[in-house]
Structure 1
Amino acid sequence: MTESQVIHRRWLIAILLTALVLRVGGVVLLQQRLDANGQQFLIAGDAEGYWLLGQKIVEGEDYAIHTPPRYVHRMPGFPLLLASIMAVFGQQFLPARIVLALIATFACLLVYWLGKRIGTERTGLIAAAIVAVSPTFVGFSGLILSETAFSVALLLASLACERLGRLISSATSTLFAVLQQALWVGIAFGIGVYLKPSWILAAPLLGGAMILLLRPKVRTFASAAMILFAMLMTLVPWGIRNERVSGHFTLTTFWMGPSLYDGVQPGANGESDMRFFDDDGLTQEMTEYEVDQEYRKRSRELILADPLRIAHLSWLKFVRYWNLWPNADQFQSWSLKSLLGLFYLPVLTFSVYGAWVHRGQYWSMVICLGPVLYFMLIHLVFVSSLRYRLPGEYPMLVMTALGIEAVLFRAGQSRPKLENNSD
């Protein structure tokens, strides 16, 4: 091992230890604050639902929530993770939060690997360092929400995509090796959907980008088809289960309709307000499938009736998505807003500059910027918040690191990894 490799290894260990200490320390402080206030969750609602479903899994009860029971309300990925933690440590919040903090630290390592693959060793270290000290990543890591676990699935898919692009463009790789890697990419995307159902459209979009950007075309078409096939096969067991419990096959949930209506309902302003769901009381007279279809229908009618209002709502959601600090009232202290603003303004600026400096590396841009832009588009329709941006920020920070390298080290264009534009 060379001297520079030893130095890089020491820097990586220091970064990961910093990430771990900040996250575990933040979790302990959060739990103490919640216990002192008699709270179970900092952000209730989704967190409470995830926790309850995790309890049902570990106790062997039906995977359902609310009354009347909704059997296809939440994807099972995150509740299964919580259930596995409960099976080992019991139904206590602190151990669950600490495990999530460990998962968040692993995400930091994955960002290092992604940065190293797309740029240089230094790129990976810079990106990982930003992840390690990011106030929002530290703050969210111990929350009983799916974002941190999903971020790991997203990063694993990103790393698999980077390797797939390399194999497709390599003259020495076989078609079998390419398709085998595409299989792993599709499985990684399927695991991501189990954690976050809105991720399901990302795989076909990735396949389209692959066909446009990578050559030779026979490999790209075959890889795109394999990715989609593998993702669908990964999700089929859940779809079959849904058919059995509800009489209707779906690869995700029956919650898209209410979620969509939440984003476009009369009086909507971009944030979630689900009071309409209880006020309407449709669950008392309809199945959850019928409720989903009814709210989809109402949403389409509202969108078609006043597209200008919907366009204005999309702008409000865009602002909420890219806000420098969380939009919720509990996070509006000036000290917190100043901290997050001072952190995120250069992060976002350098990510734009990194994309400009490396503008010829189209596949790398898809990997690094695709997720954060994908979720932006999704949440121009649904409700929007900084929370929904967080998973996409992990790969985006590789582009931030490339921008910082270009400024501080005059790195210019990083060494080309993919010959995207050559036959």
Structure 2
Amino acid sequence: MSTDTASNSPEPPPRSNCERREACVRRWLWWIVGLGLLLRVVAAVGLQYQLDHRWQREFLIEGDANGYWELGQRLARGESFQLYEPPRRVLRMPGFPAVIAASIRMFGDHKFAARLLLAVVCSAGIPLCYWLGTTLHSAETGLIAAGLTAIAPVLIAFSPVLLTESLFAVLMLSSLACAVPLGGLLQSREKSPQMTVVALWSVLTGVMSALAVYVKPSWILAVPGFCVLLLLLARQRGTALFCSVLIMTSLVLALLPWGLRNQRVSGHFTLTTFWMGPSLYDGLNPDATGDSDMTFFDRDGLMNSMSEYEVDRHYRKAALEFVKQHPGRTLELVGIKFARYWNPWPNAPQFTHPTVRIATSLAFLPLLLLAIYGGWEVRQDRWLLVLTVAPILYFCALHCVFVSSLRYRLPGEYPLMVLAAIGLQTLWRTWRGTLPTTGINMGQPSASPGGGAC
């Protein structure tokens, strides 16, 4: 009886091609994320070993890292958020020190634990690149972008470094991912997109942008620029204006607690820090080389007689005076900083080993060429280009004014992976066509952004 019942029971319907493709994409994504996570954990272990047994120091790039770690320790102990004497209370944004403080609270005052935590958190950049590529172009593009991100040597090596760039990249990607649907809705020919959906994505974009600013304050200038581009590219200008207002309002409201705190501790309101002046002068002064050299700050000793706010204003004015008096040298510095930013290998003297230079060049130059090729292929899709190219160009422009290095380019390389993936797909389509054995089409964009052509 049971045998008859079993034999007569209906078999589950066979899965459609669409379902099989989606399962294939998910399986590949899990493998890619797992590989990227493993490589970043290995990088954290290797970095800690090198620091302890070979270089005999606490940080790979000292200076900023020391300050972030001390601020994290103070937050973990419940002490005031300040550094040095006289105290500087509006020197750094609190986002990265908060992550360090969380590591210290959970795992103790161990830098290796913080590096492992960063390696895990920064692995989120891999699925975010997948999401960006999938929603902007196709699931295949997303997978390739995720794969390129997972194995990128410099991104792997920098993930456990106790600096802001990798964590910021994850938050920046999150804000870009929230902005993707806005472009689709506002470029649509439909008369009235659902305003609730538009408002939700606008608020999320503003909030995620604010979280990114809490880690890297210079991103605050990118958000109004993004809103301007949104207005220029949208078919529905009224709705785009509504979105822009919501994005900026959400950004300001999310940063407002920090601004009010700064007003309370310093007597002056700012949504970021009072470190812009010294940073600007670092890049624009008679001894500037394009690299960071903050020895002037200790030499001048202005903190002994001025407040943080006054020191910030003093160095802003001094930098602008330098530009007025030395326009030729200023332009020369712009060229030097531009070259340092796009240098395929690290500029710092501790990374001059030929192996490091060759490895980083072999990783970056093909990526850049593929991205240029991919950008040409999708040159008509202006929204895709804004979200993938604008970040790296924004930081290039910014660091042609401030000091410049490969380090500041790294966050912009994450969204660029999408264009590189499109370039790789285009090359594959030109040379070989499709990959019939994997079920993943390397040539044509899929009709469904969530899981390939159905």
Whether the aligned pair in 2 keeps the contact of 1:20 and 1:101 (CA below 8 Å) is yes
Match for residue 15 of structure 1?
Answer: 32
The amino acid across from 2:165 in the alignment is: E
2:361 is the alignment partner of 1:344: no
CA displacement 1:62-102 (0-9 Å, x = unmatched): 10001110000000011011111111111111111111101
CA displacement 1:372-415 (0-9 Å, x = unmatched): 11111100000000100111110111011111111112477847
Whether the aligned pair in 1 keeps the contact of 2:234 and 2:240 (CA below 8 Å) is yes
Following superposition, the deviation at residue 7 of structure 1 comes to 2.7
CA displacement 1:295-333 (0-9 Å, x = unmatched): 001001001111121111011101110111111011111
Following superposition, the deviation at residue 9 of structure 1 comes to 2.3
2:96 is the alignment partner of 1:86: no
Match for residue 109 of structure 1?
Answer: 127
The amino acid across from 1:242 in the alignment is: N
- Bigger radius of gyration, 1 or 2? 2
2:329 is the alignment partner of 1:312: no
Following superposition, the deviation at residue 164 of structure 1 comes to 1.5
How many residue pairs align between the two structures? 418
Matched residue SS, 1:409: helix
Following superposition, the deviation at residue 245 of structure 1 comes to 0.2
Match for residue 224 of structure 1?
Answer: 244
Correspondent of 2:413 among 390, 393, 398: 393
Matched residue SS, 1:273: coil
Whether the aligned pair in 1 keeps the contact of 2:140 and 2:446 (CA below 8 Å) is no
2:100 is the alignment partner of 1:49: no
Map 1:323-338 → 2, pairs under 5 A? 323-338=343-358
2:140 is the alignment partner of 1:122: yes
Map 1:14-413 → 2, pairs under 5 A? 14-36=31-53, 37-170=55-188, 171=190, 173-410=193-430
Following superposition, the deviation at residue 152 of structure 1 comes to 0.9
State TM-score, norm by structure 2. 0.90
The amino acid across from 1:384 in the alignment is: S
State TM-score, norm by structure 1. 0.96
In structure 1, runs of 5+ residues without a counterpart are: 419-423
CA displacement 1:232-253 (0-9 Å, x = unmatched): 1111110100000000000100
Matched residue SS, 1:325: coil
Match for residue 8 of structure 2?
Answer: none
Whether the aligned pair in 1 keeps the contact of 2:138 and 2:448 (CA below 8 Å) is no
Matched residue SS, 1:291: helix
Residues 57 and 322 of structure 1, relative CA distance in 2, 3 Å threshold:
same
The amino acid across from 1:90 in the alignment is: G
Following superposition, the deviation at residue 118 of structure 1 comes to 1.0
Match for residue 10 of structure 2?
Answer: none
CA distance in 2, matches of 1:383, 1:56: 28
Whether the aligned pair in 2 keeps the contact of 1:120 and 1:414 (CA below 8 Å) is yes
CA displacement 1:176-209 (0-9 Å, x = unmatched): 3212211111111111110000001111000100
Matched residue SS, 1:259: helix
CA distance in 1, matches of 2:118, 2:425: 31
Matched residue SS, 1:66: coil
Matched residue SS, 1:383: coil
Following superposition, the deviation at residue 371 of structure 1 comes to 0.7
CA distance in 1, matches of 2:381, 2:148: 22
Correspondent of 1:3 among 20, 25, 42: 20
CA distance in 2, matches of 1:51, 1:96: 10
In structure 2, runs of 5+ residues without a counterpart are: 1-14, 431-441, 450-454
- Which deviates more from structure 2 when the two are superposed, residues 295-304 or residues 336-345? 336-345
Following superposition, the deviation at residue 38 of structure 1 comes to 2.7
Whether the aligned pair in 2 keeps the contact of 1:361 and 1:416 (CA below 8 Å) is no
CA distance in 1, matches of 2:294, 2:172: 28
